[in-house]
Chains A and B, each alone.
Chain A
Amino acid sequence: MAKHYGMVIQIAKCIGCQACTVACKFQNKVPEGQYRTMSPAVGPIGTYPNVSMHFGKEACQMCQNALCVDVCPTKASHYDENGLVMVDADKCVGCRYCLAACPYDARFINKETGAADKYTFCFEERLSKGLQPACVSTCLGGSLSFGDVNDPNSDVAKILGKSKAEFRLSELGTKPRIYYIYDGVVK
């Protein structure tokens, strides 16, 4: 079966430590004040003393029906050979259509390159060299897993085999590759 890359996020295991946030910044030379990913807190929810809280990773959802790709006038936003959404900075004219189109608000204009920028699974810098994305390899809580969902021996496949995953805004039909697992979490 063809490779189907995916990221699995076990929300209950995220501790909001932002190691992923910072690792991504250095791996991808993201300018000051800009972020490709972050793990914000949701909560505390409820009323004292019955409160709960979790963290939800924000990042490009790597849609298979990507609205940003649809709107891009220059084809800078495109699918690569693995079907991952990428931005070719050389073709990007900074028109911001994709920023507006992205329902996950995952894109920004990189203030150094002037091109649209976003989370990439560290494709060029790491994945292509057989390494895990920077955020995954520094994840302190053990929340993040990445791999080929179609390979039954992969971590991601094993986790998905045990737990029910959700996609964000699945009603939009964007078919993301980021799987959120809420087991053990009070939403």
Chain B
Amino acid sequence: MLTPVVIILKICENNLKKLVIFLFGGKGVNRRQFIKRALYGAGGTAVAISGFGALTKAAPKPALATATNEETTVFSSCEMCRNQCPVAVKVVDGKVSKIEGNPNDSGFGGVICARGNSGPSMLYDPQRLKKPMIRTGERGSGKYKEVSWDEAYTYIAEKVKELQQKYGGESVAFASRKGPHDWFFRAIGKGIGSPNIFSHEATCPMTRSVALHSMFGSEAIAADYGNAKYIVSVGRNWLEGIHVAQTRSIMKAIDNGAKIVVLDPRFSVTASKGEWIPIKGATDLAFVMAMANVIIADGTYDKDFIERYTSGFDKWQVEVKDKTPEWAEKETGIPKDTIIRIAREFVKHSPKAILDFGWRTGITPNDYQLRRAIMFVNMMMGNFEVPGGYYHKKYAAVLKKFPEMSSYAKTLGDIYQPAFPKPSTYRIDGTGIKGIPGQLIPEGDGAVSQIPESILTGQPYPIKGWFVHRFNPVISVTESDRIIEALKKLDLLVVCDIYMTDTAMFADVILPECSYLERYDKVFDMSGKTPKYVLRQPAVELVYPDTKPSWQIYKELAVKMGLGHYFPYEDMEEFISRQLAPAGLTLDYMKQKGVWTPEGMKPFYIRANDHTASLDDIVHRTDSKIEFYSEEVEEATKQGIPKYEQYPQPQEGEFRFVQGKVAVHTNAGTANVPVLNELMPENSLWINQESANKLGIREGEDIIISNGKYEHKGKAKVTQGIRPDTVFCYHGFGRISPGLKRAYGKGINGNKLINNVIGEVGNVCTSMSFVTVKKA
């Protein structure tokens, strides 16, 4: 018999220490301290705990009033990130007690991520915005008065009118994180005749969209990870940049024996599940070109596919002729034999192979060419419209074109908006102008980081007003200080959000949106291999009665601005019913299930059974061919075929500075959400052990990071899991808004250290900054 009390509590100390270090990167906190910290409560204030062994209770046990009450389930859609996963919200006594995945959706299997699980803690967060506010002090001073919605609307309407009269409607820019609110939000911008309407996409996947559009004439291309046997990530990190359906598919593929190869300067969680290739930063295109070179030299590409479905391959062949593995070894630091092996393994597993096209792209100025080259290699192997390759999303409009599938095609209705006035001038970023790179920028997105430039320089014409919806450019867009400088120069800044974000703190008017758990939104089309519609509906009454859903805010504002006719609906029940009616669906049905997919439909790959099946209905380029060479790209950037551009590498003593996502936070969105903040309150700077030794920097030490123009304080996480010439931090920390009480001043805001260089097709460039690091 063991004497229990003497069994020492060391056992899992190491493991927890490692979690804490991995997630937080801070000082080594071992489990005992962790528990101690937990026991001692948030903020380190000592909670009275009876002495060890005292036979008294620490605190009375509160009656759990909810325990006896009925639990109901409301099917809705998550918004802790942009992915809109279908959820089952558990409600007890009018309060959300827990959120789960919607079991009616087989792609999700009732699963949601840590952020999705944390929804209730955001919903009831006392730090949310609760009332409309108008600024009373200096910009950024945090001095505001609470006002009625009517006062807020009146203030905005008057200011906008002034700007329209003085500078024209084009002087007011609109930017949002892309989402269902855009139908309403953008109607205000279009209504006043502004061409300057932007999404956040330039900070995230826009170069990928550009690439897909240039090849397929459609951005709606997706990867069938779950059925793939060989998957190569070029910086993609599915296991930390969580997209529940995709993350699960990757794990399913691994479970079925797929091999994962990860090119990333940092050892990510995804890298830990496969072969990690710590590629030299900004050289990915060299690797991809060398893959093409090997496959062409081997003669193993899918000649029939290329012949049948593509155009311009000959020009690509010429371009990669000298991009040998030997050459790529010098560029990328990856041994040539490794490159050859990966290329051959990729061929061996094709068409069930995916060279991944990325998510948060925009690594370099010509990143769109990397994304095109990636898709070229996939198309060289015919990894398209077969299980385990890429496919075009099968939404209703696509299925309609296939007689055997058309019965599954139920199209959502549009709500008619009267014609908007035609903007009197071009956009500030040149989007859509032929003969310049702007020709390639997706019209619905734009180059969002041009807004601060135009505010500050007045070029090509001045921006004087800015509406920001659920977007936080101070943290999300490169060069935070420059953005702040720009915000300070505005005549009008309107921010609608749920928290006092780092951008909201500079606003003239703050409009508090209610959370996703308290509102309807437009029905989402989330079609993938089959059509899918998802509903968001309120699970509970408004927690803070003076907050409102965006569809109501912008409708009411529009009425005040004389734009009410662009919002031809009474409420969202009506709006949604009108969307659903043409599909033969009802709001009631959607409320009961939360999600609709056609019953009995199996995933549909056009070439699954017939490798010669026509792709004319999904490829919308000249002669319905997938384009290697693109006339349009040639016209816009003189690079109809991607050319390799050699970017500088860090000098001795410098590091390339890169960023990434972590599984427990969403970009600039969740640092202040109570439960997520508790799990990971701050980030730190990953630095290679050997590099840290040279600088005399130890684990957890305070450091100063500098890019020559800006400095940032932080803590070092010394690790073997990163290239010696690279440093890394997770994105979304170092928050400057005191209104985010938990997140304020904690960690590093990476975008402060990245200069606002606008990429060739309007993208931000995330990985082109070099920094030095020293002990604080």
Mark A residues whose CB is within 8 Å of B: 12-13, 15-19, 21-23, 25-27, 29, 32-35, 38-44, 46-49, 51-56, 58, 67-68, 70-71, 73, 89-90, 92-97, 100-105, 108-109, 111-115, 134, 137-142, 168-169, 172-173
B724 at the interface (CB under 8 A from A): yes
Q: Which 4 A-B pairs have the closest CB atoms?
A: A40-B19, A41-B22, A101-B4, A22-B117
Complex Cα spacing A47 to B690, Å? 10
Residue B136 is within 8 A (CB to CB) of chain A in the complex: no
Kindly identify which residue among A32, A111, A142 contacts B59, using a CB–CB cutoff of 8 Å. Answer: A111
Contact of A33 among B38, B247, B720 (CB under 8 A): B38
Whether the pair B19, A41 counts as a contact (CB closer than 8 A) is: yes
Interface contact A33-B7, CB-CB below 8 Å: no
Q: Which of B19, B41, B117, B255 contacts A26 (CB 8 A)?
A: B117
A109/B49 in contact, CB under 8 A: yes
How far, in Å, is A23 (CB) from chain B's closest CB?
Answer: 5
Inter-chain contact B20/A40, CB cutoff 8 Å: yes
| Bound Cα distance A146, B117 (Å) | 20
How far apart sit A41 and B31, CA to CA, in the bound complex (Å)?
13
Q: Is the CB of B719 within 8 A of A18?
A: no
A54 vs B14: C-alpha distance in the bound complex, in angstroms?
A: 13
Whether, in the assembled complex, B112 has its beta carbon less than 8 Å from a beta carbon of chain A, the answer is yes
- Kindly identify which residue among A17, A43, A93, A169 contacts B272, using a CB–CB cutoff of 8 Å: A43
Residue B650 CB within 8 A of the other chain: no
Contact yes or no, B19 A46, CB < 8 A = no
Interface string of B9-44 (1 = CB under 8 A from A): 101111111111111000000011001011101100
CA distance A115 to B49 in the complex (A): 11
Q: Could you pull out 9 A-B pairs where Cβ atoms are within 8 angstroms?
A: A15-B269, A33-B678, A40-B18, A40-B19, A40-B22, A92-B57, A114-B61, A115-B61, A140-B251
Contact with A along B242-256 (1 / 0, CB 8 A): 101001100110110
Q: Is the CB of B61 within 8 A of A89?
A: yes
CB B267 to nearest CB in A, in angstroms, measures: 6
Q: Is B688 an interface residue (CB 8 A)?
A: yes
Min CB–CB distance B288 → chain A (angstroms)? 20
A59 to B87, CA, bound (A): 26
| B660-710 residues at the A interface, CB under 8 angstroms | 663-664, 674-676, 678-679, 688-690
CB pair A108–B35 under 8 Å, yes or no, is: yes
B53: CB under 8 A from chain A? yes
B114 proximal to A (CB < 8 A): yes
B720 near A51: Cβ-Cβ < 8 Å: yes
How many angstroms between the C-alpha atoms of A101 and B52 in the bound complex?
13
Q: Would you call B61 and A113 a contact (CB within 8 A)?
A: yes
CB nearest to B101 among chain A residues: A138
Contact A44–B719 (Cβ < 8 Å): yes
Q: B47 at the A/B interface (Cβ < 8 Å)?
A: yes
Shortest B656–chain A CB gap in Å is: 15
B4: chain A residues at CB < 8 Å are 67-68, 70-71, 97, 100-101
Partner of A105 from the list B12, B101, B678, B722 (CB cut-off 8 Å) is B12
Given contacts A113-B62, A142-B255, are A17 and B663 in contact (CB under 8 A)?
Answer: yes
Whose C-beta in chain B lies nearest to the C-beta of A66?
B4
- Taking a contact as CB atoms closer than 8 A, the residue among B11, B31, B57, B252 that contacts A94 in the complex is B57
Asked whether B54 is an interface residue with its Cβ less than 8 Å from the other chain, the reply is yes
| Chain B residue total in the interface (Cβ 8 A) | 87
Q: In the complex, which residues of chain A have a beta carbon less than 8 angstroms from the beta carbon of B57?
A: 92-94, 114-115
A51 touches B111 (CB 8 A): no
Q: When A and B form their complex, what is the total count of cross-chain residue pairs whose Cβ atoms lie within 8 Å? A: 228
B165 at the interface (CB under 8 A from A): no
Cα-based distance from A27 to B247 in the complex (angstroms)? 23
Assess the B720–A44 pair: CB atoms within 8 A: yes
Distance, CA A96 to CA B57, complexed state (A): 10
Is B675 a contact of A22 with CB atoms below 8 Å? yes
Given contacts A22-B675, A42-B18, contact A140 B244 (CB under 8 A): yes
A32-B239 contact, Cβ under 8 Å, with A51-B267, A137-B110 = no
CA of A55 to CA of B47, assembled, Å: 31
Q: A94-B55, A140-B248 are in contact. List 13 more A-B contacts (CB 8 A).
A: A17-B240, A23-B98, A33-B41, A34-B39, A55-B19, A58-B12, A70-B4, A94-B50, A94-B56, A97-B4, A103-B9, A108-B38, A173-B2
Do B64 and A21 touch across chains, with their CB atoms under 8 A apart? no
CB distance from A183 to the nearest CB of B (A): 11
Taking A21-B114, A40-B15, A94-B50 as contacts, is the C-beta distance between A105 and B9 under 8 angstroms? yes
A-side contacts of B273, CB under 8 Å: 12, 15
* B54 A95 Cβ-Cβ under 8 A: yes
**Among B11, B54, B239, which residue has its beta carbon within 8 angstroms of that of A169?**
B11
B2 touches A138 (CB 8 A): no
Interface residues in B566-581 (C-beta closer than 8 Å to A): none
Query: Which residue of chain A has the shortest Cβ distance to B270 in the bound complex?
Result: A15
Question: With contacts A111-B41, A137-B110, A138-B111 known, is A94 near B58, CB below 8 A?
Answer: yes
Cβ A41 vs Cβ B120 within 8 A = no
Closest Cβ of chain B: how far from A38's Cβ, in Å? 6
In the complex, whether B453 has a CB less than 8 A from a CB of chain A is: no
- B530 near A: Cβ within 8 Å? no
Residues of A within 8 A of B5 (CB): 71, 97, 100-101
Q: Residue on B with the closest CB to A35? A: B38
In whole Å, how far is B400's beta carbon from the nearest beta carbon of chain A? 34
**Alpha-carbon gap, A67 to B6, bound state (A):** 11
* Chain A residue at smallest Cβ distance from B43: A33
Any A CB within 8 A of the CB of B276: yes
Of B18, B22, B111, which one neighbours A139 at CB under 8 angstroms?
B111
Q: What is the distance, in angstroms, from A162's C-beta to the closest C-beta of chain B?
A: 12
B residues in contact with A56, CB < 8 Å: 12, 15
Nearest B-chain residue to A101, judged by Cβ = B4
Q: Does B160 contact A (CB under 8 A)?
A: no
Residues of A near B542 (CB, < 8 A) are none
Least Cβ–Cβ distance between A99 and chain B, in angstroms = 8
Q: B114-137 vs A: 1/0 string, CB under 8 Å? A: 101110100000000000000000
Give the residues in chain B near A16, CB-CB below 8 Å.
Answer: 19, 22, 239, 269, 663
Kindly identify which residue among B54, B61, B721 contacts A51, using a CB–CB cutoff of 8 Å: B721
Q: What A residues does B753 contact at CB under 8 A?
A: none
Return chain A residues, CB-CB under 8 Å to B247: 15, 17, 140-141
* Interface contact B722-A41, CB-CB below 8 Å: no
Contacts A52-B272, A103-B7; is A114 near B719 (CB within 8 Å)?
no
Check if B600 is an interface residue, CB within 8 A of chain A.
no
**A27–B62 alpha-carbon span in the complex (Å):** 17
| Contact B722 A19, beta carbon cutoff 8 Å | no
Assess the A44–B267 pair: CB atoms within 8 A. Answer: yes
A169 partner residues in chain B, CB cutoff 8 A: 11
Shortest Cβ gap from B744 to chain A (Å): 18
Collect the chain A residues with CB atoms within 8 Å of residue B678's CB. 32-33
B113 in contact (CB, < 8 A): yes
Write the nearest CB–CB distance from B604 to chain A, whole angstroms: 25
Do B58 and A111 have beta carbons less than 8 Å apart? yes
- On chain A, the residues within 8 Å of B13 by CB distance are 105
Residues of A within 8 A of B98 (CB): 23, 26-27, 134
Chain B residues near A40: list those with CB within 8 A.
Answer: 15-20, 22
B-side contacts of A13, CB under 8 Å = 251, 254-255
Which residues of chain B in 151-180 are interfacial with respect to chain A, using CB atoms and an 8 Å cutoff? none
Cα distance, A42 to B272, chains bound together (Å):
11
Q: Kindly state the separation between the CA atoms of A71 and B6 in the bound complex, as whole angstroms.
A: 12
Q: Does B407 contact A (CB under 8 A)?
A: no
B356 within 8 A of A: no
User: Could you tell me the distance between the alpha carbons of A106 and B240 in the complex, rounded to whole angstroms?
Assistant: 26
Q: Does B60 contact A (CB under 8 A)?
A: yes
Q: Is B97 an interface residue (CB 8 A)?
A: yes
Asked if residues A114 and B38 are in contact (CB atoms below 8 Å), the reply is no
Given A33-B41, A41-B23, A94-B57: A53 touches B16 (CB 8 Å cut-off): no
